[in-house]
Structure 1
């Protein structure tokens, strides 16, 4: 088919091409105009202190802003946050899922939360609750984990300290590592004195120094075998103390993040405005009109094919094709032609 044929078909089926889009647009416009008035509001979340900065923070690196926005968007629509917002505001969870939208402002870490509903008095409470619950959901778990780590590390330090005290009570010695070192220093000093007494020939002094050396050596022999167990207990306490220090640093960082994510400081909620019916009508009618036009074109094509199929089925039969017997006789299968041939043969026979 050429373009002229398509235009001829379109003109013949103009009522379909125009009627279907107009009908679809009219129905869509009726639905929009008869629907209840909707209201919308926007909350703005700006928390730059939560993104980048120290490596201990949750969102760092080149993709920190995108990661934060993605995590916040997922948190807003998570079942836990939705259920909590529903409990706080009295709005059904399904309505919250349908009405809440989260968008990133450019490529920054700032976020816009919008909510659309038919009840004006629910827009601001939902936006406030959604932003607060999402921030709490993202950062409260780190605070809880850090608090538990501090508690566990403190318990380990306490247990290690208690074990050291029990060991000292059992062996009746306090701080044997320091006592052992002090005895070593004393023994070195006594041996130096012993050499001095021998050099000057002081027999009485040499005897006293020798006795002191023997006593110090006995003390060393008594403490030495016990010292490894005590040093192992000290190592456990030192490791627990180091772990406690790291846990306290993590707790401090988690508390700083919670303060930086305070909804009262980072969230601002705009005024609630009615949704323009004109805007809603344009957003709905134009796509519906386009879809209606597409359906009309498909329907016209179907009707045209159906019409041609019917025309072909009722078309008259074509002229008869001569059979082999007529061709063999050198004549024709047309009765009129045969009659005329017979009439011409009559006079010829009579002349002969």
Structure 2
């Protein structure tokens, strides 16, 4: 297997990875960035982005990620196609395997592998993704102001997003698969007492309707076996996210859902010289702008770590 050395290795792209690359490259750290399975992250499947500062007219998600990439490349980031398939953080420098055939020995590693939304896995969902189907109400709810929408899920996230949508949309149908929710009592109380949220119990999505945009949803009641259609223009999936962190499980501290734990106020993990940013460690905000901010933090933390390492080495050499 081929081996290569790197000063800073960034695993994953998207706002967090590219921002980390911009800061690391400008600091002269010569970062190498592997884009991962979905170059640009979740924003590449997002059409209009209107809430990122600096784009007063809005921007298409894929274009935004191309802008981020160009800026990282401008300062000298070595951006490569490839997927991290394994790591070994038991010794230093850290070892990361790319595509099962290249081992990168890195002095500092920045993890920006993101998280993937969980989907219903029905054909119409994929066909209409970005055309009325979304996994982020905060990102896309604005496009459906004063319209009727539906949201799927029964946990805290679904309740939070339903509450958010209720302030923008005319009517919010909440499809809950069972006759009870998993959400906390306070979140349940909030949606139950919001006049324009209607909870449809024992309800599953049979099909999302529409050709070029969402026009409705066919609902299946799993208690009565009845099917009926609701006219809506927006369909939101809020059944959770899965962080793309499986390869780090044996080395990094994670919560029960697989999000990497970082030292509060920093991007530092429990392994010295390994930093995490973006949706791989953030299960609360999950926004492009917060991901970018945490990418900046990771690059600055990595720079300080490497500077301290250089000083340690110099002291050993001079002693």
Q: Which has the higher contact order (CA 8 A, sep 6+)?
A: 1
Range into which the TM-score falls when normalised by the shorter chain? under 0.3
Q: Which has the higher strand share?
A: 2
What is the TM-score normalised by the length of structure 1?
A: 0.23
